Amino acid sequence: MIIGQQSSNKTHLAEVRFHDGSIVRMTILQENLEVQTKYGKLTVQLADVRRVEFGLHVPPETAQKVAQSIKRLASDFHKERDTATRDLVQLGRFALWPLLKASKSGDQEVAYRAIGALKQIEERVSPDLLKLQEEDVVYTVEFMMIGKICSPTIKAHSPYFGEVVLKLSELRTMHVKHQSGNLHLVLDATKHGSALDQWCDTGMMVDTGQRLVITSEGQVDLWPQGAGQYMASPKGYNTTGKGGQFMAGALIGKIGENGKTFFIGEQYNSNVNEEGKLYLLIVPNPWNSGSTGKYKARIVTDYSGR
């Protein structure tokens, strides 16, 4: 049971990688992304986004130039066809997909010139950029989606440049860093300490590079049939619990549903090397009987060095 959580603000720290290889840490100033998928348009809250791998985004004015140049490849005038070919080569990666389609044209002249332009672009543009797909890949907390982000820009703030509008055509990846958090919860041993699969989803996201601090207190009765005889603290009782890895009654955690289990006890303080939701569990007793009692836990996340 969550009894208090630090309210989140409407900004999101992110590491943004540009096509020129530069990486800048910025604050994203919008709450969601609209993604057009083959199943329709989806609105995704930025708080749920982990990472975005941007596909090929062509600025509207550039797209218009590409379309006009592709059309001029079929011109009746040789000079105009030559000019169109040079323009398309100059436009580089932005002309890639239209040229690929034009290379399969039934018009032999158009197909010939498109293939020639593609070869020149391949010689000038880095292989990494040539591999860009048309669609974006958005990784969220729960699933991955493939589609096209509808807006051509993202609003952000940089300590060095102030408020900026990021053009998606210039972005390669965006890794959203989750904000610092402060969570208080009560862990009931009946629900989260009587079987190995009773993990408590705290709802708190933790990120690689964050500092995770957990403190806990309380008592759990590992064998309520003999009330008070087998009492445990978050450090655990002197009997190995079910599963054999930790002491019965010990407070343990994991990051992500398939994350590695770690001991928390009464205090845990460490840098995080994984990313995902934080899950907690009270190690059940080995006697196949339920436990009772509660632990109170406080969870704090922050970025090291702040």
Written as six digits, the tokens of 144 are 């991955």
Confidence of residue 1 (pLDDT cuts 50, 70, 90): low
C-alpha span between 101 and 177 (Å, rounded): 38
Buried/exposed code over 113-151 (b: 16+ C-beta within 10 A; e: otherwise): bbeebbeebeeeeeeeeeebeebbbbbbeeeeeebbbee
Considering just the CA atoms, what is the radius of gyration of the chain in Å?
A: 27
Confidence of residue 266 (pLDDT cuts 50, 70, 90): very high
C-alpha span between 270 and 202 (Å, rounded): 18
CATH code of the domain occupying 181-303: 2.60.120.430
Q: Is the pLDDT of residue 291 over 50?
A: yes
Model confidence over 41-56: pLDDT tens digits?
A: 999 998 888 889 999 9
Q: What is the pLDDT of residue 4?
A: 46
Mean pLDDT across 7-27: 79
Confidence of residue 178 (pLDDT cuts 50, 70, 90): low
Model confidence over 142-161: pLDDT tens digits?
A: 789 999 999 999 999 988 88
C-alpha span between 143 and 166 (Å, rounded): 25
Mean residue pLDDT of the chain comes to 90
Confidence of residue 179 (pLDDT cuts 50, 70, 90): low
Q: What is the pLDDT of residue 9?
A: 44
Q: Is the pLDDT of residue 226 over 90?
A: no
C-alpha span between 284 and 197 (Å, rounded): 10
Q: Is the pLDDT of residue 252 over 80?
A: yes
Q: How do the domains of the chain map onto residue ranges?
A: 2-55+133-177, 60-129, 181-303
Q: Hey, what CATH topology would domain 60-129 get?
A: Leucine-rich Repeat Variant (1.25.10)
C-alpha span between 147 and 167 (Å, rounded): 17
pTM of the model: 0.62
Q: Using the structure block, give the residue that is written with the tokens 């899950």.
A: 279
Mean pLDDT across 213-220: 97
Q: What H or E segment, with its residue span, contains residue 82? A: helix 78-91
